Amino acid sequence: MRSLSKQLAFAAALIVAALPAFAQGTNPLITVEEPYARATPSGAQTGAVYMTLANKANAADRLTAAASNVAAKVQIHEMSVVNGVMQMRELANGLAVPADGSVTLKPGSYHVMLIGLKKPLTAGETFPLTLTFEKAGNISVTVTVRAMGATPDKNGGMGDMHDNQGGGMGHMEMK
């Protein structure tokens, strides 16, 4: 019996290890991958959170709201640059997450907008964010603050470590 439970534990450990390191939450319907924010300038009142939402269900879902204790208000926004003009709009009906598909919130596109920051977001810190979905319900994730200008990591998860080095001008090369 003892060896069987050991084997089970080992198998479980293997499964856990095989899961993408950046996926968060244990929700059966939606996986939140690599949630991150960019560090904000001193005194800035707004910030943006980016991530990928993967829908494991065969029915479409919708991100309808978000909340965090770091900001007075949290909204779901889309930004675009049209003919050199930056536009930003709140998505009043939330953001659709297609069945068996995913949607990526990233610079130049969708983001979770933090309004009324209680203090600047500093690279290397983390903060909690709760996402509310129409079907999947509430999912709480931990957002990592990366350097100002950080972009989604193409290698998945851990490759952004160098973004968090140092502060001040030292990290300004990161884009």
Partner 1 sequence: MRMRHVILTAMAGIAGFSAMVVLILFLGSSSQTGRSIGSAAIGGPFTLVDDTGTAVTESTLAGKPYAIYFGYTYCPEVCPTTLLDLSNWIKKLGPDADKLNYAFVTVDPERDTPQLMHSYLSSFDKRIRGFTGTSEEIAKIAREYRVYYKKIPTDDGSYVMDHSSIIYLMGPNGKFVTVIAYQEDDASALGKLRNLVALTPSS
User: Which positions touch partner 1 (CB under 8 A)?
Assistant: 38, 40-48, 73, 75, 77, 79, 81-90, 92, 107-108, 111, 113-115, 148-149, 169, 172-173, 175
Nearer to partner 1, 1 or 81 (CB): 81
Phi-psi region of 92 (alpha: psi -120 to 50; beta: other; left: phi over 0): alpha
Closest contact distance (angstroms) between CB of 3 and partner 1 is 42
Nearer to partner 1, 7 or 165 (CB): 165
Closest contact distance (angstroms) between CB of 43 and partner 1 is 3
How does DSSP classify residue 174? Answer: -
Closest contact distance (angstroms) between CB of 59 and partner 1 is 20
Closest contact distance (angstroms) between CB of 38 and partner 1 is 7
Tokens (6 digits) for 132: 């509310």
Nearer to partner 1, 14 or 112 (CB): 112
Cα end-to-end span (Å), the chain: 54
Distance CA 51, CA 110 (A): 9
Distance CA 95, CA 51 (A): 13
Nearer to partner 1, 4 or 44 (CB): 44
* CB-based contact 37:114 (threshold 8 Å): yes
